[in-house]
Structure 1
């Protein structure tokens, strides 16, 4: 694993945590930051999880020995 792969995996993990937190906030009925910003975070982080994870896997495969 390269440094770039590690950073991408870390970004994917952080985005996944933010996504799960946003889902719980929205399901509670009254999100702390309001519905709009929480939906925005969720909408931004879900694709970011997939993109970062895919890029990390591609980078790791490209640098495999």
Structure 2
């Protein structure tokens, strides 16, 4: 197993931001977001690239630790 604490944190960040993105999509499609349209849209716009960035960082860190 090549999971290090650092790559585990990156993977957890990826999971949290992916959950935030999915939740934001459902909130926006419902029509009346709890945090308001603008705040929910900002969360969605930020969480999509963060998901990919954190996942890429986790994979890269795990690959760097293969011996």
Please give the range of the TM-score, normalised by the shorter of the 2 chains. over 0.9
Q: Which runs of 5+ in 1 are unaligned?
A: none
Match of 2:32 among 27, 30, 49: 30
> Scaled by the length of structure 1, what TM-score is found?
0.98
TM-score, length-normalised on structure 2? 0.95
Give aligned pairs, total.
Answer: 65
Cα root mean square deviation, aligned: 0.4
Listed as ranges, the gaps of 5+ residues in structure 2 are none
Q: Which residue is 2:58 aligned to?
A: 56
